[in-house]
Chains A and B, each alone.
Chain A
Amino acid sequence: MTAIIHAHGVSKSFGSVDAVQDVTFDVAQYSICGLLGRNGAGKTTLMNLLTGQEFADAGSIRLFGASPVENASILSRTCFIKESQVYPEGFCGKHVLRAGAWVYPEWDHALAEELVDALKVPVNRRVKKMSRGQRSALGVTLGLASRAQLTIFDEPYAGLDAVARHTFYDFLLRDYAEHPRTVLMSTHLIDEVADLLDHVLLIDEGRLVIDAPADELRGSAITVSGVSADVERFVSSRHVLTTDVLGGLTSATVAGLSSADKVAAVEAGLELAPVSLQQLIIGRTRGAQQGEVAS
Chain B
Amino acid sequence: MSVAVDSGENVMVIPSRARRIANVVRLHAANPVPTLILPWLIFAAVFALNLAIWIAVVSAAGGRDQLEPDAFANNGAISWIYVFLLVAATQAMNLTFAFALGLGITRRDYFLGTALYLAGLAVFYATGMTVLAAIESATNGWGLEGYIFAPLFMGDLPLVEQFAAHLMIAVFFFATGLFTGAIFVRWRALGLYVFFGALAFGVAGLILIASLFDGWQGVGAFFTERSPLAVIAWTLPWSGVTAVVAALILRRATPR
Contact = CB atoms under 8 A, between A and B. Distances in A.
10 contacts: A29-B4, A55-B252, A79-B104, A86-B98, A88-B99, A91-B31, A91-B99, A95-B31, A103-B15, A149-B10
A45 to B, nearest CB: 11
Contact of B31 (A54, A75, A88, A102): A88
B60 interface: no
A70 B108 contact: yes
Interface residues of A, number: 43
A64 to B, nearest CB: 4
A287 interface: no
B95 A88 contact: yes
A126 B101 CA distance: 20
Contacts of A104: 104
A6 B104 contact: no
Nearest to B10: A149
Given A64-B3, A89-B95, 7 more contacts: A4-B4, A52-B106, A64-B5, A65-B3, A75-B106, A77-B14, A89-B31
Interface in B141-190: none
B107 interface: yes
Interface in B107-162: 107-109
Q: Identify whether the interface residues of A are mostly helix, strand, loop, or mixed.
A: loop
Interface string A92-104: 0001001110111
Interface stretch (B19-27, B44-52, B205-213): B19-27
B8 to A, nearest CB: 13
Interface string A13-56: 00000000000000001000000000000000000100111110
Contacts of B15: 72, 76, 103, 105
A29 B10 CA distance: 12
Contacts of A52: 106
A71 interface: yes
Contact of B14 (A53, A73, A80, A95): A73
Nearest to A6: B2
A177 to B, nearest CB: 15
Interface in B4-46: 4-5, 10, 12-15, 17, 20, 23, 26-27, 30-31, 33-34
Interface of A: 2-4, 6, 29, 48, 51-55, 64-65, 70-73, 75-82, 85-91, 95, 98-100, 102-106, 148-149
Contact of A86 (B17, B23, B33, B99): B99
B30 A98 contact: yes
B129 to A, nearest CB: 26
Nearest to A51: B104
B255 interface: yes
B4 A85 contact: no
A65 B4 contact: yes
Contacts of A90: 31, 33-34
A40 B5 CA distance: 33
Contacts of A91: 30-31, 99
A23 B114 CA distance: 35
Nearest to A89: B95
Contact of A75 (B33, B98, B99, B104): B104
B1 interface: yes
Looking at A2, A88, A100, the one whose CB has the most chain B CB atoms below 10 A away is A88
B105 interface: yes
A103 B106 CA distance: 11
A160 to B, nearest CB: 19
A95 B104 contact: no
A6 B4 CA distance: 11
